[in-house]
């Protein structure tokens, strides 16, 4: 099976399994989405969704978050890990949003990536899930599965993103990256599938006998 054939099968099968993939992080606006994505770094979406209701009940916009003491933010987000860094980033980016963007999350790649705690992946999630701009946020699931299915060589996440964009049409990116995540959690997990177990791995590489070791992001 050629790479383009594998990509076509993957896209078709994931669309069958997850025809309307929901956004994993609970949010009510682009600000709460931005904060939730920031908190999800090295943390599960499920844990973030348990933590954010308490935070967003205090402030669900940048202006109100500026009035919340940074220690209170830190105490609330502590279960997400890296609390000092994340708490400080939330406080700082909230101030910058008020000072430079009228309290609104900007629909601009450079402006987003200039915010404290916001890297390319976080900006990609906000652009795709918040503004509907075609983007490919590459998390651990996307990076692992793209390698297992022979869609990229796993050199780094930027290479995975570039290869993903070459293989799939822009109009599919926003749903497809979530479908990758859902499949990676349900069927092609890091420990439950070694590249020879799940349906898509077996279809893409029916003759693969040895476990496939994916490069970490």
The catalytic position among 45, 86, 139, 194 is 139
The catalytic position among 3, 60, 88, 121 is 121
Q: Which residues of 160-192 are buried (b: 16+ CB within 10 A; e: fewer)?
A: bbebbeebbeeebbbbbbbbbbbbbbebbeeee
Determine whether 121 is an active site residue.
yes
Separation between Cα atoms, residue 59 and residue 80, nearest integer Å: 18
Separation between Cα atoms, residue 204 and residue 151, nearest integer Å: 10
Determine whether 75 is an active site residue.
no
Which is nearest to 143 in space by CA: 117, 177, 96, 194?
177
By annotation, the residues acting in catalysis are 121, 139
């Amino acid at each position: 099976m050629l790479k383009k054939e594998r990509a076509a099968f993957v896209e078709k099968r994931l669309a069958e399994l997850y025809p309307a993939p929901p956004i994993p992080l609970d949010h009510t606006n682009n600000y709460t989405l931005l904060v939730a994505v920031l908190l999800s770094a090295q943390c599960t979406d499920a844990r973030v969704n348990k933590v954010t209701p308490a935070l967003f009940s205090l402030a669900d916009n940048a202006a109100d978050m500026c009035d919340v003491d940074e220690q209170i933010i830190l105490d609330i987000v502590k279960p997400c890990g890296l609390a000092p860094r994340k708490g400080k980033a939330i406080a700082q980016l909230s101030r910058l949003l008020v000072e430079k963007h009228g309290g609104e999350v900007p629909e601009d790649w450079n402006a987003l990536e200039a915010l404290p705690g916001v890297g390319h992946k976080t900006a990609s999630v906000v652009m795709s899930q918040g503004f509907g701009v075609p983007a490919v946020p590459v998390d651990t699931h996307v990076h692992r599965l793209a390698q297992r299915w022979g869609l990229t060589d796993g050199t780094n996440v930027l290479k995975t993103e570039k290869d993903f964009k070459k293989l799939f049409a822009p109009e599919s990116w926003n749903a497809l990256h979530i479908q990758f995540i859902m499949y990676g959690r349900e069927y092609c997990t890091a420990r439950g599938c070694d590249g020879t177990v799940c349906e898509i791995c077996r279809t893409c590489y029916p003759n693969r006998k040895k476990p496939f070791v994916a490069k970490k992001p």
